[in-house]
C-alpha cells in the first residue's frame, strides 16, 4: 500500500502484517527536509517507531513536483531526497527503507514511439541529479501513468481497447519493431528510454499510480464502471502473470492502483472523486475479482473494524497484495 503521509494510526494498525508500505512526505515539507536535523527528527518521530513491526520499505519525497512549476520546489527536491537518505544511513535504516519521488508522465517531452522517449529539456538539469541519486542508492524511479487521460482528451483517435488491455491490433515501435498491445506498457518503456538517454540503464521504473474512474462529468469520455472494471481487472490479470514490457522482458511490471477508496470531498471534475475500487463503507464500486477482501476485513472482529476507520487515508493498494491475500 502507498500513503501520501505517514499516518501513525494506519502504520500501527498494519504492524505485524505482510503488507509493505510506501509512505510520503508532501510537497510542502520538502524545504524543511533539506535540513539534516529536521530530516532526522522526522524519521525518528514518524518512521523509526514503526520499524520493524510495520514493513515500511520506501519514502516518497513530494508528489509530481515538476507539475507545480514552482522552481524553488524543483530545486529543493534532490537535496531533500539526499538529506533524508543520509539521515536513514545515520540511523541505520537505509537497508530497510529507500527514498524516491513520484512524477507525472508530463515530465516527458516525447512518449511515442517508446524508444524515442525523452525528458523535457527544462527539467534536464534537475533530472540528471535525481537519476544519479537513484543509481547510487538503487531506489526506483516512480511514475504516475494514466492511459485514461490520453483517451479522455482524444476519444476519437485513441482506441479504447488499446487503453483497456482488451484485444486489439496494437501498435509497433518503428525503431525497435517491438509491438505494444496496450498504452500503459508503451508509457513505461518511454520512461525507460528517457532514462537511458540520460546515461542510465540500471534504474527500475515502478508505476506509483494508475487507474480509471468509474464516473465522470459529461465531457469526461470513458469514465464508466464498465471501463474502470476492465482496466483494473485486466491489469490485475497481467500483474498476476508477472508480465513485462516489450523493452524490458526480464523486469515484471510493478504497479500501484489508484485508488483504494472513492474520495467524496476531493475537488475538481467528477472523475477525481471516483477512482476508488471501494466505497468508504467497504463495498466494491465494481467487480474486478477482489471485492471480498475489504468486507471480510471490516466485519470479522473489532480490531479489524479499526483498520477500516483509519485505512481511509490509504489511497493506493498494490495489486500483488490483493492477489496473495
Tell me the per-residue pLDDT of 46-60, one tens digit each, with 9 for 90 and over.
Answer: 999 999 999 999 999
Least confident of 75-79, 80-84, 95-99, 284-288: 284-288
Range with the lowest mean pLDDT among 151-155, 265-269, 286-290? 286-290
Set of cell numbers at residue 281: 463503507
Inform me whether the pLDDT recorded for 154 exceeds 90: yes
Catalytically active residues, by annotation: 64, 209
Domain ranges for the chain: 97-278
Q: How far is CA 85 from CA 91, 92, 104, in A?
A: 10, 10, 22
pLDDT digits (tens, 9 = 90+) for 98-146: 999 999 999 999 999 999 999 999 999 999 999 999 999 999 999 999 9
* CATH number for the domain whose boundaries are 97-278: 3.20.20.80
Confidence of residue 69 (pLDDT cuts 50, 70, 90): confident
Angle at 240 between CA 299 and CA 155, to 5 degrees: 95
Neighbours of 310 (CB within 10 A): 16
Sign of the C-alpha dihedral computed for residues 73, 74, 75 and 80 taken in this order: positive
Does the predicted TM-score (pTM) go above 0.85?
yes
State yes or no: pLDDT of 314 exceeds 70.
no
How much of the chain is in helix, strand and coil states, percent to nearest 5? Answer: 45, 20, 40
Q: How far apart are the first and last CA of the chain?
A: 13
Is residue 90 classed as helix, strand or coil in its secondary structure? helix
Q: What does R_g of the chain's alpha carbons equal in angstroms?
A: 19
Closest-CA residue to 318 (of 256, 274, 271): 256
Residue-wise pLDDT for 182-220, tens only, equals: 999 999 999 999 999 999 999 999 999 999 999 999 999
Q: Is the dihedral of CA 296, 297, 303, 309 positive or negative?
A: negative
Contacts of 112 (CB under 8 A, 6+ apart): 186, 190
With both helix axes pointing from N to C terminus, report the angle between 36-46 and 71-90 in degrees, rounded to the nearest 10.
Answer: 60
Amino acid at each position: 500500500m502507498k500513503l501520501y503521509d505517514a499516518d501513525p494510526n494506519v502504520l500501527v494498525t498494519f504492524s505485524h502484517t505482510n503488507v509493505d508500505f510506501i509512505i510520503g512526505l508532501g510537497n510542502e515539507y520538502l524545504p524543511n527536509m533539506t535540513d539534516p536535523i529536521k530530516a532526522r527528527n522526522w524519521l525518528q518521530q514518524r518512521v523509526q517507531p514503526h520499524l520493524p513491526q510495520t514493513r515500511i520499505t520506501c519514502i516518497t519525497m513530494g508528489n509530481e513536483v515538476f507539475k507545480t512549476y514552482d522552481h524553488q520546489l524543483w530545486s529543493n527536491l534532490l537535496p531533500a531526497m539526499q538529506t533524508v537518505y543520509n539521515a536513514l544511513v545515520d540511523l541505520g535504516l537505509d537497508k530497510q527503507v529507500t527514498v524516491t519521488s513520484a512524477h507525472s508522465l508530463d515530465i516527458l517531452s516525447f512518449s511515442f514511439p517508446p524508444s524515442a522517449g525523452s525528458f523535457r529539456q527544462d527539467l534536464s538539469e534537475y533530472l540528471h541529479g535525481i537519476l544519479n541519486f537513484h543509481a547510487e542508492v538503487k531506489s526506483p524511479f516512480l511514475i504516475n501513468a494514466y492511459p485514461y487521460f490520453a483517451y479522455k482528451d482524444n476519444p476519437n483517435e485513441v482506441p479504447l481497447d488499446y487503453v483497456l488491455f482488451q484485444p486489439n491490433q496494437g501498435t509497433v515501435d518503428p525503431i525497435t519493431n517491438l509491438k505494444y498491445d496496450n498504452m500503459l506498457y508503451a508509457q513505461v518503456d518511454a520512461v525507460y528510454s528517457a532514462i537511458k538517454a540520460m546515461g542510465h540503464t540500471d534504474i527500475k521504473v515502478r508505476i506509483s499510480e494508475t487507474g480509471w474512474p468509474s464516473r465522470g462529468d459529461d465531457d469526461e469520455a470513458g469514465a464508466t464502471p464498465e471501463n474502470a472494471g476492465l482496466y483494473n481487472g485486466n491489469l490485475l490479470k497481467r500483474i498476476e502473470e508477472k508480465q513485462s514490457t516489450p523493452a524490458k522482458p526480464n523486469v515484471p511490471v510493478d504497479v500501484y492502483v489508484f485508488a483504494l477508496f472513492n474520495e467524496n470531498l476531493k475537488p475538481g471534475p467528477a472523475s477525481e472523486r471516483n477512482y476508488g475500487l471501494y466505497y468508504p463503507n467497504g463495498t466494491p464500486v465494481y467487480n474486478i475479482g477482489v471485492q471480498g477482501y475489504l468486507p471480510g476485513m471490516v466485519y470479522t472482529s473489532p480490531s479489524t473494524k479499526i483498520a477500516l476507520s483509519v485505512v481511509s487515508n490509504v489511497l493506493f493498494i498494490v495489486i500483488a497484495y490483493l492477489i496473495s491475500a
